[in-house]
Each structure stands twice: as C-alpha cells, then as structure tokens.
Amino acid sequence: VNQEDLVIIGGGLAGCEAAWQGLKRGMKVLMYEMRPQKTTAAHQTGDLAELVCSNSLKSMSEGSAPAQLKADMASFDSLILRAAHQAKVPAGQALAVDRKEFSGFIQEALFSHDNFRLCHEEVTSLPSFDELEASNRCVIVATGPLTSDGLCRDLEGLSGGAGRLFFYDAIAPILVSDSIDESKCFRADRYGKGEGDDYLNIPLTKFEYEQFIDDILQAEKSPLHAFEQTSYFEACLPVEVMIERGRETLRFGPMKPVGLTDPKTGKWPYAVIQLRLENTQGSMLSMVGFQTKMKWPEQKRVFSSLPALRDVEFYRYGSVHRNTYVEGPKVLNPDLSFKVNPRIFLAGQITGVEGYVESASMGLLAGHTAASKVKGVGFPLPPSTSMLGALLHYVTHGCHGKYAPMNANLGLLPQVIRGKGVSKADKKIKQCQLANRDFQDYRQQLQL
C-alpha cells in the first residue's frame, strides 16, 4: 500500500528540490525517475539531478538576477544550492560545480531520509482528481524539457488539449530598453494601426541590410542535437534558416518594411527590425520574429553592429531548441497546480522557465504549495516584486507579448528610475536590493 503524501515524477533539478522541500515539511515522498531504464536524448547517466550540459549555475555577482534568485532559494535551505556550494569548482563570478559530486550530494541527502523512496520507472498516466482527493495525496510533475512521449498525452489533456503543451522553444532575444539608442529608431505601427506607436522600429538601408545578412550567415551557430532535427521548426523558423532560403526572405518576413513610414525620410525603409514591448513597464523589448540559433556572443556582435543597438544589453538571448512546456498562464493556478486538477502540480522547466536554477526554483515552490495542500493549509506566495515571485508570476500570469519560456532577469522586476550620476550597475544593484527587501519581509512572515 502506498503511504506517500507526495508523488514526484522526474528526478531532475526541480523534482529533487521539490522532494527536499516536501520532506522538510514532513511529507512522505515517492519519486519516479525513468532513467537509467529509459533515458532521454540528453542525459548520460542514471543519476538524480544530472546537469545535461554546462556545469554552471550562473552568476553570483551582486546586482544580477541569477544571484538574487539563488539568494531567495537559499533562504528556503535549497538542496540544489547546498549541493552546488559543496561541489563548487573555481569559475570566477559564476557558481560552477563538479557535476558528479553535485548529483552525489543530492542523492545522498534524499536517500538518507527515512521518508524518501525512489522508483526507477517511467510514468505514463496521471491519477484523477477524485483518486488523489480520496487519498489526500498530491502529484508533482517535474519531467523537464525532454518529458517522455508516454506522459505527454496525459499532460496535453491536463493542459486543455493540443496547442497548450509545446515541444519546441523558438525564442527571440529580449533587449534592455534603455540600452537602445532611440534617436536611431522611430515609433510606428504598420499602416498606423494599433496605438500608432506600439513598435520601436530600427530602419536599415540596403547597404546595412546586406551587411547584416552577411553577418548572420557568417555567425557561429549552436549545433542542433540529433533529436532536434525535425520539421517542428517550420512553424517558427530561426532567422538564419530563413536566410538560407534566400537573402530577401527576411525582408518579406520579420524585417518587412511595408506600412512603416520613417518620419525622418517620409518613406518606408529598405528593411526594419521591429521591437515590441514585453512588459507593461516598457523595460523589456523583444525583437519580433528573431528566433535564432546564433551563439550568444555572436548575437551580441551581430546585433550591436547596427547603430541603434551599438550598446545593446540583453535580458534573454534568442534560442531554438527542443523543450516541453505548457502555456502556464492558461493552464496553471498561481500555486503551480493545474486548473483542471488542482492536486497535480507542475515544477521545473516544463512550467515555462529556462535554466537549471530557474527550474529548481519552481521545484522549490511546488514542493511547498503541494505540501500545503496535503496539510490543508495555505501557502502565501512570494511577492512578484521579488525575483522568485517575479518568475512564478511570469509562468502563471504571462507577459505582454506572446508567451515564451523565461529565465530570471531584472526586466521582470519593478524598474528603478536612473537619476543623474547613477550608473547602470548601480541601478541593477538597487533593483536587487529592493527585491531582496521584499523577499525578506515575505520570508519573515512565512511560518513553516
């Protein structure tokens, strides 16, 4: 007879963090992990919390979003962070780890707990709400970007059908708005529709366009993994793939200038890059239709060759890769449970966050919200003005534009007005200090 209160599917970063937080709340936890019997296209071992690619858990420097997120998680005694500090290797401002030691620490912490049980099995179906309610149990699905096909059908059902469970990321870069030279852009909507000035447009001359196309063609791209080479890309092609179909393709696609009159010339430019608001504060602007496989330093190099973007900073770089995730704002409650079955919670990358730490942070929260449901108590959520709360708010409430997975970045936090003599670095530090203050207030009031 299963005695467990909490069933966690997926022993990755999010699943392990959720298990740890659940155990700390007195839950009995059963975890299902399909590896090594059945593996994914990216994992190499049967270990829990395997880092599939880089060994870096991003920056630790003051005034950075990843560092602030880690600080929030540390105040919950995050297992992932404990392990990272234990397995740390020198990497400057980054928190990088020895991946074997990292997984080993996490496994030992979980296995040494009397209330933890691991079952190496693929889960292919999810229990109904009535079954879970009758036994007062909750399930956390933390199966990650490479969720097995066997489970996707049930997840699609919980998500309201096809179209709300995605299998690919095709992400356009998001830029820091005050790093753009607006004097070299113009505001306009196509044919004056909308509010008339919703888009910030970067005009390109024929010469600039040709140079830009050459730059993109020559830029180094991230290689596609074998498991990513499918026709799914047709729906949302990376810019470099479009260019391979012809140098003019972008000018008839995302860089189409028709209906966009540049007030400086009174004419439509040869080509444009359109920037669209990502948040209501106007601090984040996405490059419309610019999903790309160019490597991150190459994106910086290629885009900053345009005068308007000479000093451009990025909140998120563009990418295209295999990724299973749901359209969180449509299918999830604010506590990460499914609207159609509030005893099943989602955690990790599949919620619509990107990255190891971000995924673990959604595991941390799901561990608490699910444990609180089992205990029949409420769990106050972190304020959206804190980094952890802002990320949660993003995946459960969305953004201004088209919903796409998000990493931790300062554009999600309230903006700080930069006065005279306040550097960009000072502004970032101030933003993090305010976020930290709000998180600490919340944390102090939270009685666990």
Ligand X SMILES: Cc1cc2nc3c(=O)[nH]c(=O)nc-3n(C[C@H](O)[C@H](O)[C@H](O)COP(=O)(O)OP(=O)(O)OC[C@H]3O[C@@H](n4cnc5c(N)ncnc54)[C@H](O)[C@@H]3O)c2cc1C
Which of 266, 141, 278, 270 lies closest to 213, judged by CA? 270
Name beta bridge partners: 325.
Answer: 166
417 binding ligand X? (CB under 6 A): no
Residues 126-165 that bind ligand X (CB under 6 A): 142-148, 150-151
String of DSSP letters for 185-224? -EE--GGG-TTS---EEEEE-HHHHHHHHHHHHHS-BPPP
- Of all residues in the shown chain, the one whose CB is closest to ligand X is 12
Give the binding-site size for ligand X (rule: CB under 6 A). Answer: 35
65 binding ligand X? (CB under 6 A): no
Instruction: Pick one of 4, 8, 40, 95: the residue that binds ligand X (CB under 6 A).
Output: 40
Which of 259, 254, 258 lies closest to 240, judged by CA? 254
Residues 383-412 that bind ligand X (CB under 6 A): none
Instruction: Pick one of 23, 27, 34, 65: the residue that binds ligand X (CB under 6 A).
Output: 34
42 binding ligand X? (CB under 6 A): yes
Q: Are 87 and 51 in contact (CB under 8 A)?
A: no
Q: Which is nearer to ligand X, 15 or 238 (CB)?
A: 15
13 binding ligand X? (CB under 6 A): yes
Place of tokens 């830009």: 212
289 binding ligand X? (CB under 6 A): no
35 binding ligand X? (CB under 6 A): yes
| DSSP type of residue 350 | G
Instruction: Pick one of 79, 123, 140, 435: the residue that binds ligand X (CB under 6 A).
Output: 123
Q: Report the number of secondary-structure helices (H) and strands (E) in the chain.
A: 13, 16
Contacts 24+ apart (CB under 8 A), 207-212: 208/270, 208/271, 208/306, 209/251, 209/255, 209/270, 209/271, 210/247, 211/305, 212/302, 212/305, 212/306
442 binding ligand X? (CB under 6 A): no
Q: Choose the stretch contacting ligand X; rule: CB under 6 A; options: 12-20, 77-85, 92-100, 126-134.
A: 12-20
54 binding ligand X? (CB under 6 A): yes
9 binding ligand X? (CB under 6 A): yes
| Maximum Cα interatomic distance, the chain, rounded to a whole number of Å | 76
Q: Which is nearer to ligand X, 185 or 350 (CB)?
A: 350
Place of tokens 């602007």: 285
Shortest Å, Cβ 277 to ligand X: 26
Which of 26, 29, 275, 316 lies closest to 169, judged by CA? 316
Q: Give me the residues that bind ligand X (CB under 6 A), please.
A: 9-15, 32-35, 40, 42-43, 52-54, 122-123, 142-148, 150-151, 225, 348-350, 355-356, 359
